[in-house]
Amino acid sequence: MKTKIYNTLTKPYIVILVMFLAPLLNLFDRNVSFFFGLGVALLILWSSSFNVTLFGLSKRLTKKTVVKALMLSVLILIAYVPVSIIIDQYFGEADLSSLDDLKHNTVGYILTLIIVWVFAAFGEELLFRGYYLKWLAELFGDSKTSWFISAIVVTIYFGVSHYYQGISGVLGIIPFAFIYALVFLKNKDNLWLLIFMHGFHDTIGLTFIYLDIENPIVKLFEQLLLN
């Protein structure tokens, strides 16, 4: 049975079919779309006897990877601030109202962090970079050009999947997604780096929401721009 599932789900066109079908499931619920794609990826992983190299997890997790991920996350967040200010000015702020209940809610904050690390950091990176990006690139020739084109396609796909945050949310996520894709292009066998980058990024953002304070770096840039 496992062999049959593996042989079916690893056919070249399946990744394109999954990427096409997943958005249609948004008609029912946006979470159904995500879990459908993730479910396919996990089925492939299970049926391959957990051959994690299929999804860019060839390298084992090390302290060096974690530290590198933290440093990259902070640098990207700082570099992104001017872009964030411009997007907010012309399109308004992203709709993060679903997280309003986290303000000064310690239990909710901790539970959300756990969910974020499991489903956003690990789940989204496994699905969007480890499966969609990697498998699309390999499908179209596994060349530098195919990887770059795949990075662009999946970046836009990932950004649009956050439509529930409004236009500013989509526009704000696309630059991050593209940077993450470029990092993956340089570290194709170390998806752990992307997982921890994603986790640290979301943890920093959620912490500001929990504390109900504005990002101090954003505040500083706004003051500089106003002056």
- pLDDT tens per residue, range 152-196: 999 999 999 888 888 988 998 999 899 999 999 999 999 999 999
* Nearest in space to 213 (alpha carbons), one of 102, 55, 57: 102
Is 29 a residue whose pLDDT tops 70? yes
pLDDT, residue 157, reads: 95
CA–CA gap between residue 115 and residue 122 (Å, rounded): 10
Whole-prediction pTM: 0.92
Is 227 a residue whose pLDDT tops 60? no
* Nearest in space to 125 (alpha carbons), one of 60, 56, 62: 56
**CB < 8 Å & 24+ apart, contacts of 56-59:** 56/129, 56/130, 56/134, 56/184, 56/188, 56/189, 56/190, 56/191, 57/130, 57/189, 57/190, 57/191, 57/192, 58/189, 58/190, 59/189, 59/190, 59/192
pLDDT, residue 146, reads: 95
Instruction: Give the residue with greater pLDDT, 85 vs 103.
Output: 103
